[in-house]
Amino acid sequence: MGMSGLIFENVDKFWNIADKTIGECESFQEFANKMIEHNDLLEGSDEVNDIEDILYEAWQEKPSKYTQ
């Protein structure tokens, strides 16, 4: 696996963690704080520079099953 493959794999891991974590959080700030711990998985990707923005976007798209 090349370097770009490893980067993509790590980004996928980040979003898998985010998908599990988002349902456990009561607020965006709680979600962001938990996910910042995993930002090393985004190293080498374009997403690492915009982590707050991408997390906020994910929070805005939070599935309604978590908010009921």
3-class SS of residue 8: helix
Span between the terminal Cα atoms of the chain, in Å: 41
With 0-12 / 13-18 / 19 or more C-beta atoms within 10 angstroms meaning exposed / middle / buried, residue 48 is: middle
> How confident is the model at residue 18, as a pLDDT?
97
> How confident is the model at residue 28, as a pLDDT?
95
> How confident is the model at residue 64, as a pLDDT?
59
Q: What is the pLDDT of residues 18-65, one digit of tens each?
A: 999 999 999 999 999 999 999 999 999 989 899 999 999 999 988 655
Q: State the residue range of the domain holding 61.
A: 3-67
> How confident is the model at residue 65, as a pLDDT?
55
Number of separate domains in the chain: 1
User: Which residue, among 42, 39, 31, has the nearest Cα to 66 in the 3D structure?
Assistant: 31
> How confident is the model at residue 4, as a pLDDT?
86
